[in-house]
C-alpha cells in the first residue's frame, strides 16, 4: 500500500495523521518508533487536554457560545475572561460534559463528550459557581461521600481527605459542620472535594466570586500550588487580577465570541500601552475634556466618571495636563491591565 521508501512514506503518513487526529497519531507514532522508522525529531507533543473547533451552544435562537476554537494543553492553567453573559459558563458546561454542544468539534481528555461522557466525568474535578456542599455534614463526611461516587475504598478516601484538608488549611475544622464555615472556607473545601479523585483536569467556574479580598488571596495561593504541581486548570473569571495571577494563557470572551487569546502580559502589550492615566474632573461631562488631550495619548476612553489616557509615561502626561491649566480632582497613574485590553477590544468594561 505504501509506495517508495517505506520509512519515508510512514513518516509522511504519521505526520498527516498527527495534524488531523493527534490522539490516534500518537498511537501510530509509537508503533513506528518501535519499528525503528521514526527518529527522535518526529516525536509528537502530548495530545491536548481540551480541544474545540467552531464550538456553538444555542438556547433556542440565542447563541450563548458562537463558534469558538480553543486548545488547552497538559499542565497548563488556562483562563476564560469576560463579563457575566459572555458565554464562559456555557463553555464550561460543555467541557465538563454537563451540556451537549449544538455544533462544532469538542474533545476532552482525547474523548468525545457525546459518546464518552461518563468516562470523561470520572477524570474531571469540578468547582461550580455555587457551592453544593452538604451543610449539615462535617467537612470530612463531605469528602467521604464524594469519594464514594468514584468507587474509592474508604481507607484511600480517608488518606486523601487528610492530605486535602491540610492543603486547604482546614484540618482543625474537619469534624465541624460545613454550615459553620465562612464563604472562603467553603470554597477551599469545594476545591478539596473536587481533587478527591485526583483528576486529570480541574475546572473552576468563577472560583472567588463573592469572597472578600483576604479570602480571595488565600484561595489564589492554593490554586497557585496546584498550578506549580502541574495540575491542568481551566478557570473562568471576570476578575482581571485573578486571570493575570493564575493563567498561563487565556481567551477574552464577549457575547459568545473570543475577541483575543494569549498570555496575559502579551495581550496587554499587544492591545494597550505600558501605563494608563486616569483623570476625574468631578460631576461634569468628561467628553469635553478629551479633545484637549488627544495629542498626549495613543488612545482615550471616556467613561461616565473618568477619562482613561493610554500612554507610555503617565507622570509625564499628567504634568502636561497641569501645564495646560487643567486640575483634575483626582488622578492616578497605573500599569495597563486586562481590563484595559477588554475595554479597547469591546468598548465596554468587564463589569458592564
What digits encode the pLDDT tens for the residues 71-86?
A: 999 999 999 998 888 9
Residue-level pLDDT at 12? 58
Q: Say if residue 17's pLDDT is above 50.
A: no
Q: Helix or strand or coil: residue 68?
A: strand
Q: Say if residue 34's pLDDT is above 70.
A: no
Label residue 305 by pLDDT band (50, 70, 90): confident
Q: Give start and end residues of each alpha helix (H) in the chain.
A: 6-20, 22-34, 88-95, 113-121, 139-148, 154-167, 183-194, 213-228, 240-246, 264-271, 287-290, 314-323, 338-346
State mean pLDDT over 240-268. 93
The average confidence (pLDDT) of the chain is: 87
Residue-level pLDDT at 119? 95
Residue-level pLDDT at 29? 45
Residue-level pLDDT at 4? 52
DSSP lists the bridge partners of residue 249 as 78
Label residue 37 by pLDDT band (50, 70, 90): very low
Residue-level pLDDT at 345? 85
Residue-level pLDDT at 2? 44
- Rounded CA-CA distance 241/231 in Å is 21
φ and ψ of 13, to 5 deg: -65, -45
Q: Say if residue 58's pLDDT is above 60.
A: yes
Lowest mean pLDDT among 13-17, 66-70, 132-136: 13-17
- 88 vs 27, more confident: 88
Domains of the chain as residue ranges with CATH: 46-261 (3.40.50.300), 272-334 (3.30.70)
- 30 vs 277, more confident: 277
Residue-level pLDDT at 45? 62
State mean pLDDT over 254-273. 94
Label residue 3 by pLDDT band (50, 70, 90): very low
State mean pLDDT over 168-190. 95
Residue-level pLDDT at 70? 97
Q: Say if residue 227's pLDDT is above 80.
A: yes
φ and ψ of 84, to 5 deg: -60, 135
Residue-level pLDDT at 7? 59
Q: Say if residue 154's pLDDT is above 90.
A: yes
Could you tell me where the beta strands, DSSP code E, fall in the chain? 50-59, 62-72, 77-81, 103-108, 124-127, 201-205, 233-237, 249-254, 257-262, 275-280, 299-303, 306-311, 330-335
Q: Say if residue 6's pLDDT is above 90.
A: no
Residue-level pLDDT at 11? 54
Amino acid at each position: 500500500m505504501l509506495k517508495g521508501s517505506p520509512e519515508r512514506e510512514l513518516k509522511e503518513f504519521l505526520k498527516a495523521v498527527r495534524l488531523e487526529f493527534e490522539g490516534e497519531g500518537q498511537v501510530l507514532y509509537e508503533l513506528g518508533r518501535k519499528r525503528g522508522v521514526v527518529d527522535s525529531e518526529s516525536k509528537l507533543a502530548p495530545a491536548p487536554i481540551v480541544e474545540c473547533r467552531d464550538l456553538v451552544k444555542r438556547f433556542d435562537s440565542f447563541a450563548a457560545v458562537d463558534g469558538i476554537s480553543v486548545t488547552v494543553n497538559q499542565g497548563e492553567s488556562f483562563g476564560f475572561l469576560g463579563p457575566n453573559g459572555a458565554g464562559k459558563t456555557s463553555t464550561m458546561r460543555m467541557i465538563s460534559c454537563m451540556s451537549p454542544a449544538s455544533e462544532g468539534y469538542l474533545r476532552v481528555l482525547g474523548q468525545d463528550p457525546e459518546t464518552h461522557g461518563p468516562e470523561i466525568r470520572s477524570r474531571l474535578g469540578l468547582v461550580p459557581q455555587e457551592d453544593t456542599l452538604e451543610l449539615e455534614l462535617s467537612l470530612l463526611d463531605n469528602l467521604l461521600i464524594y469519594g464514594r461516587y468514584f468507587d474509592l475504598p474508604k481507607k484511600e478516601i480517608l488518606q486523601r481527605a487528610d492530605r486535602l484538608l491540610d492543603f486547604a488549611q482546614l484540618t482543625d475544622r474537619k469534624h465541624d459542620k460545613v454550615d459553620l464555615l465562612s464563604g472562603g472556607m467553603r470554597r477551599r473545601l469545594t476545591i478539596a472535594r473536587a481533587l478527591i479523585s485526583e483528576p486529570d483536569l480541574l475546572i473552576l467556574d468563577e472560583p472567588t466570586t463573592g469572597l472578600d479580598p483576604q479570602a480571595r488571596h488565600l484561595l489564589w495561593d492554593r490554586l497557585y500550588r496546584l498550578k506549580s504541581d502541574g495540575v491542568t486548570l481551566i478557570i473562568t473569571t471576570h476578575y482581571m487580577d485573578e486571570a493575570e495571577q493564575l493563567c498561563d494563557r487565556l481567551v477574552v470572551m464577549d457575547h459568545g465570541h473570543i475577541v483575543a487569546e494569549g498570555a496575559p502580559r502579551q495581550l496587554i502589550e499587544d492591545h494597550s500601552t505600558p501605563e494608563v492615566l486616569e483623570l476625574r474632573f468631578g460631576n461634569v461631562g468628561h467628553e469635553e475634556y478629551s479633545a484637549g488631550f488627544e495629542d498626549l495619548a495613543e488612545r482615550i476612553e471616556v467613561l461616565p466618571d473618568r477619562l482613561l489616557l493610554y500612554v507610555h509615561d503617565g507622570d509625564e502626561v499628567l504634568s502636561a495636563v497641569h501645564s495646560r491649566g487643567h486640575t483634575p480632582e483626582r488622578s492616578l497613574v497605573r500599569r495597563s491591565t486586562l481590563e484595559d485590553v477588554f475595554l479597547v477590544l469591546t468598548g465596554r468594561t468587564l463589569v458592564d
